[in-house]
Structure 1
């Protein structure tokens, strides 16, 4: 390569004899070096400007000195891939190199040793692997900034790093380091910023030698496996402003000398085993202190009154501790207090009365204590107050009228207290209001007809509200107002609240009919209108709500027949009791699961004896008014009808048996995708009840033994089509089946063949001995009690991710599954995962419907938010669904088990936002400290995958990479 470079330079000199060597040589060397660098990366489309048509000093990311020498390359987030270019250090004047946030891989590039003028090096957020070289001090002696964060480096941090004496910034966070970090870091006398967070180092104490870092102002060591006590030597760092030792195993007390850190502004010591009280009495010398976080430790005792002496304190965060006593009144006098979080302690007494009056208070959280008394009246005095969270205390009195004029209010959670009186009317006009949780108090007042446009959650059950139900709230997701005094009718224009998922208005005084517009609430999962005075018929449109799982209309005055469309719903709960319904219960609802769903409806009947209603098979009454001859005629006619019916049934059964036994060659059409050792007759004969193992996706699933010597078993999914498929749909079906039949991947269930008839399709798959993942996570598997251990869960997640990664990235055109969920991840006898069920059933049921029909694709709890408002699908929909599966694997909760937050994804995000420990929500079967770091990685990955914006979600390729890291952590 070097000889070719010199040849090109020589030819350029011959071609331009009129130019002197001094004019062309330096520039041409720099240009050709940049061209070589570009060629070393794979398809760098972002470097299109790197061409001969413009001056290289104007190329993307390039900065030159006055004489044309390249001194800076800044190519962060440019989509670069491949390996590190060894030609970079041929740019002898290069002093600044930023290649962060790309896809560059390989081991640590020791070619960087040749960059003798380099002062700034950032290769974070790439794919580098392996250990750091023992001679890393061979990097430029001028280096002041070194950032290797968010890569895959492993092993130890070499002691030689302590010989890079000019370093001011050393960031090695979020790697896979599993060895040690050297005490020699303490020799970096110029170091100002050190980040070692999120590495699984061998358990060790903080080196006392770190106390020599006299210029250190930023120390970030979250989740670095620290043990022992915080060394007193750290209290000798006069420049320290930000100290974060969160989520380790530190014990002992907070060193008294910490208050000598006069420039300290941020202190995070949460989630350790620290004990003792915080003693701030006396002179503490903390003029520069702005933020203290000692949350989630084992700190006992009360909050000292001397907290009021911290005049620059802006964030006081001490939640999840064992603090007791009263909150000092002096805290209300702090002039800079912005964020106060003391929730989940054992605090008593009343709140500081001047809270918010003297400072720009924005966030106030003291939930889950034993605080009494009233809310301070000046919380919003400075006009920036946004969040009030005082739930689960013993507070009383009225909500201050001043909150009614607080334009910045966005979150009010005061549930489970003893507040009373009318809610200030102005609260309902707060533009930024998103969450109102006021349930379980004694509050009164009315709601406006139009709620704030940003409000998503309104829970006011068990209060004394009156008036009508609002008719407009554009983004409302949850409205629960049971056990109040609301009256009037349900608004007819429910389409103006189209985003509702939970609507509960039980036990009020609501009258009138259920409006037909309820069918527009296509996101509704729970509907409870019980205990009111509703009348009229049940709208058939309720049966078209695609994700409704709970319906309670009991204890009303509803009449008429039960719409058969209700049977289309997949309900976990149905209650139509105590109404005036009549007629026969639809056959689709005649199930033991609904045995008590129709009580106290005198005119309802059923032919199913398991339902607690009268039988529809009535005995005829007195025949005194009918002549004996007519009775004989009726008997004769009945006998004739019976004989005809028997004959017809015999013919039908005979024809069915002929088709089932394959005697009619035209009855079934077999399309194979593998070498088969069975015929369609074997499969068809196996479609009997004793082989039925489940239902789903529009059909039944059978387990059929082929009777071969090897005991081979297949799974057969039978999909019905009530209407004759048109030719276009038939062609689409065959095309999709052939596509799936051509897929060959270890982690995608193998489709063996398709067997078609006029009214049904049989899809024959390889049989998965351990069934579906959801059975193992959420319920005891066929009487077995053995739970899935953590390594098996990681194996399953990696396998499923490989299957989806193949579908999204390795075949053309890509396949979007659209219904990824734990029940569609099957497990073989070794718990290897297979992606299954590609939605062919949904395709079949479209026969006869227009192509433009819209439908929600997916299952509730797994559907990405954008599925509610767009028909466009892409790979990011699958990423969201897979993220929910990851949350199921780590928490053991179901996708719809989000409590007050609705979905598991929303609940998990809230849990993380609250700063709560992930170990608190980990499934009990995997609460092993050995795996805590891996579980946390998977939990957070699930939250990232379920981000609201599709563009912010990772690709399946990136998800797989992160899961492989988890797998490597326990190998």
Structure 2
């Protein structure tokens, strides 16, 4: 009784104290109400804003809400920053946003918002960053945005906005970045924008602007980038006043219906990038027209005539394009004479389809120069030695890959399933294994057209800005996109010097993410503006929530006092509770496990409810000798039931127990999946706090074991036709999930270790722990094209688009299967020693060295079949989902490849197979190892053991499910 009385006093004191302290931490009530209205106007399928009704926004750290450190003159805390980037939000922007009167940053980037931009946002005069890009906003811009005189960065690009560009934007006297590209703006560009004396970047490309280019823009003396491509400026030319833009680095006016003469731009000393292609410019190319700093000059697809100037020294030039003009005279083979070509430098000179009749100088360019002269008279009427090689058609140019020499490291010692990998370059320890942060990043308007020469300087710039060592950042991949814009995926690794830590601590993750999301990188003219696409937290960082944690430190001392006081009260309460249950401690642990999962009393057709006693006996009390696998879910055991049927028992660990509802949902889902190429669920057990799933046993292990040669019992390797057979089986299983399962399913973790082989070497897809149901169609019969979800899966198999957008589609499974197909071809791991399998195969194809990476253990094969299989695999691994085939197309293509095989090989591909006494695969009808059905008994396995020279298959067996 005394304990209960003390406990009551403590609770009463706690309530009074917390109530008192909470009163000292209170957000402006009008802003709280505004936040609730904002949430109500949004659709939040992933529940990101689920804590927006709990406590005080500033004290309880609502997701995406960052507050000022101190109260205002009114005694309230106020919202300072609103970060809701990449949360898969849809719905509309509420007018109540205007009530956040002291807001500095509003970030809704990369969501699916529709509707118009509320004029009430124009009331937030303190706003510095308005970031709404990457949505589906429509309608015209409200004039009230012009009231935002403290605005530094306005990003409205990649929406569906229309109407004219408001003249009122000229009132944003402090704005430096106007990014409004990829919309549908129309009409004349307001000349009053010339009042924006601080404007550095004006991006309005890919709109429907008309009229003329305002001559008044010459007053924009801070302007560095003017990018207006793909508009229609009604046949006017470039104002000659633009020669007076002293800091202009990039002028891009591609496909703008411009005409007249090109002005003399020689007076712009900083100009590095000039693109005036696909216009109607006439006249000659002015001599000494360009600064010596130029990297890119594109004047192609115009009506320029006259001769090509021979002067000029351009040591940094990467691209000179003058194709499809009317230029005559001689081609000056002196362009590259004063250039210093490093190993990473490249120069493309394209003069095809002109009227050039001769060559001035020695036509012997360095290997780094790509020269195109086809379509000129010089190619047909000249005897110049060696000119033929420059008169053919050239393919599309691709940047070289950024590779680093790696030491040979033990593959299995780095736990890739937990998103660890070997760091690209750590001289003290080249096999240092760590978990990187993954960043999606894009340069929106770079001042170069070929990246390799600048990678080192870019990494230096990034790491200095992040206060990291140079070798902590790796550019995992990059590609040029329409714009041109440069999208890249970065990996940031923990420092080897920090006590050899293999992961970042939480505060460091939040610090790095905050720098990226707050545009705190130092200004750089050359790399231009950038945008953060995503910060993907996987593996050990999966539970870190950037938007709720990254600025808890900044809510002030008062919050720290409250938290400390509450912690003290909770500690007192815990002590009291400990006293109360002191005599019952053994009972507490028993309740904890049993409450997690009570007995399941449910009957599901075709799925048996096993008792704990049965499974304990089948696995010899879960003896370590019966353990055949383990992962994040728990352990997998080999079991022998009373009827001598072999099964795989997947037993949840104490930290992986689901709620009863979730466990039943998984059982019901798996019980509906019935296909030859899917592993079958036989039953389940939910007794005394246990959760177990029982699957059919797969005696031939995982595909990964066969590819890697780990399964020493079967060291013959897989023939090419057997690899085709396995690929076909896996593809058919996935196709069933996508099109015939009810409801359809995205697997989300297709990998070689989740493709298992039964006694007849039939491939079966396993492990549906990460699978997601495809939403049903709406009232109009439209099925959603994707599922919004946090990123989960296995490194190396993850769809890059899914990692960036968090949008899971059927093409995400196609990508993962494509990686498996490349594994079948090469025997490589998806990620090994810092190398990515897709990149390595693409490089081998480009360099004509594919034979060097083909797995030699698959014996003879038809080159035609191999080429088709390779093409299919690479098409599945295309970065853009729309370019990948559907699963039905994959199955059909595999069928076509198998049809090209010789009859004896195609029989093995299309029939059940087994091993003969020599370990050779033969159709199962000719082997004594044939078994009936899919369930294997002890007798069946004994027969198989005899067929393989008496070897014991049980010890090398793989589990049905290989958990993460």
Bin for the TM-score computed over the shorter chain = 0.3 to 0.5
State the TM-score, normalizing by the size of structure 2: 0.39
State the TM-score, normalizing by the size of structure 1: 0.39
